[in-house]
Amino acid sequence: MTAMNTIAAPANSTGASSQNDTSSALRFITCGSVDDGKSTLIGRLLVDSKAVLQDQLANVSKSGEADLALFTDGLSAEREQGITIDVAYRYFATPTRKFIIGDAPGHEQYTRNMVTAASSAHAAVVLVDATKLKWNVDGLVDLLPQTRRHSLLVNLLRVPGIIFAVNKLDALGDDAAAAFAKISAALQAFAKQAGIAVTATIPMSALKGHNVVEATPGWCGYQGPSLLALLETLPVTAAETDVPFAFPVQWVEKFHNSADTTQGRRVFWGRVATGTVQVGDTISIHPSGQTAVVAQVVNHARVPGSIAAGHGAGITLDREVDVSRGDWLLAQVTPAADPDDEFADTPKPRAFAEATREIKATVAWMDDEPLVAGRVYLALHGHRWIKAKVKRIVHSLDINTLQEHDATEIAPNAIGHIELTLQEAITAVPYAQSRVLGSLILVDTATHKTSGALLLN
């Protein structure tokens, strides 16, 4: 069985709408291996886009030359060791768009931080250090493990815009064009094998600024746009508005003194995960299984109206029902009738997502201890905590060959396929259909550390 069928599903196989929003702020991350130039790239973007004040530039300058990496490496340990440990966020804007950048660490030990940043990103710039690769060989160039791991993870997390940036080509002098051609071919072959839809592959020098903010036509044989120009055209992640309505309840507001008994006297607040909600919709409540009709919908400013996925909402039902934090409000759908059975009963409406206690999922394991069968963790689904027992380790992914192999454990920072048994049923759909309904996190019951990110299959 190959990775393309299970572990590395293409990022564009989603249930999201096809809207193409290029005006909203773009949240993107830089990722890749250690010392590939991620922090330097962000510093170059900030300086060349005039997003840095003169006194800030002076603070990171040594001997008259700016150390661009210091704009994001703000922890004292990062400056002492010259590495990125935690995700650093920076903000800047061009005349056409605003950007939020996440500088993810490259060390394998801090893969968990990179996964956290990628889970909310609209795009990812995967840097590749040309000076680290043996490009002057016959056949395909061997890519670094972290380049492969980070590329697989951003694809797994459905980051729609993935850009390969081949960095430090200026250090290769006259061999830069040949090196870029060989490395680009290896990246494209890897992406094809893993099912990764690549937006572009750009030759770049973060230190000198080639193809970062301003394009350098013809350099390394590349005639395309600069990295910044490309980022300005990428759409944000589309809201999942074409999936039926789902709403995880985050907070319950009570109005016990209200004299109006024609509807429920509580407002359920949260963010619409999928679909759209409006007055008159019939919904199911999970886990109780009760049904009710939406009596009122308001936005964050308490203005009535329909609310779509990705936006906060306050929902009041037509009657008092038992709903608390962690419960789900789900749209009701009517299953299609069997056309070959004329005596079959008319199908009854039901919640669009089936409740289940048995979960099959892809896991990005982030704990220092390996994941083994039999362990019990706390699982968070929406705003609901449930105990989860690891039933079986199905496969572990070899990031070098992209082949799955039988395993008895999932090593730290590895990707695998597991089966879980939950203490209580959850309403789950595949992650490819919904990021919110199809994802869980596992938390260690003793240390309370986030141990793994689960993407439901």
Pick from 347, 368, 356, 370: which is nearest to 438 by CA?
A: 356
Helix (H, G, I), strand (E, B) or coil at 328: strand
Can you tell me the distance from the alpha carbon of 126 to that of 342, in angstroms, rounded to the nearest whole number?
56
Contact 127, 45 (CB under 8 A): no
Give the residue-averaged pLDDT of 123-136: 91
Give the residue-averaged pLDDT of 142-146: 90
Q: Quick check: bond before 225 cis, omega within 30?
A: no
pLDDT at 165 over 50: yes
Contact 443, 386 (CB under 8 A): no
Q: Which residue has the higher pLDDT, 15 or 95?
A: 95
pLDDT at 8 over 50: no
Residue 256, beta-bridge partner list: none
Contact 336, 344 (CB under 8 A): no
DSSP one-letter code for 346 = P
**CA-CA-CA-CA torsion for 377, 378, 379, 384, nearest 10 degrees?**
160
37-94 pLDDT, tens digit per residue, is 888 888 888 877 776 545 455 555 555 555 555 545 544 444 444 444 557 788 888 8
pLDDT at 302 over 70: yes
Give the residue-averaged pLDDT of 243-250: 91
Helix (H, G, I), strand (E, B) or coil at 38: helix
pLDDT attached to residue 76: 44
pLDDT attached to residue 304: 92
Element (H, E) at 46: helix 38-48
Single-letter amino acid code for the residue at 308: A
Pick from 49, 44, 41: which is nearest to 92 by CA?
A: 49
Quote the percentage of the chain above a pLDDT of 70: 82
337-391 pLDDT, tens digit per residue, is 555 555 555 556 666 678 889 999 999 898 889 999 999 999 999 999 999 999 9
Sequence-ordered list of residues with C-beta below 8 angstroms from that of 304, at least 6 positions apart, any chain: 279, 296, 297, 298
pLDDT attached to residue 402: 80
Can you tell me the distance from the alpha carbon of 345 to that of 54, in angstroms, rounded to the nearest whole number?
75
Can you tell me the distance from the alpha carbon of 414 to that of 153, in angstroms, rounded to the nearest whole number?
10
How many helices and strands, by DSSP H and E, does the chain display? 7, 27
pLDDT attached to residue 55: 47
pLDDT at 420 over 90: yes
pLDDT attached to residue 1: 40
Contact 166, 198 (CB under 8 A): no
pLDDT at 129 over 60: yes
Quote the percentage of the chain above a pLDDT of 90: 40
Q: How does residue 184 score in pLDDT terms, banded at 50, 70 and 90? A: very high
State the chain's mean pLDDT as an integer: 82
Q: How far is CA 107 from CA 35, 38, 166, in A?
A: 9, 12, 18
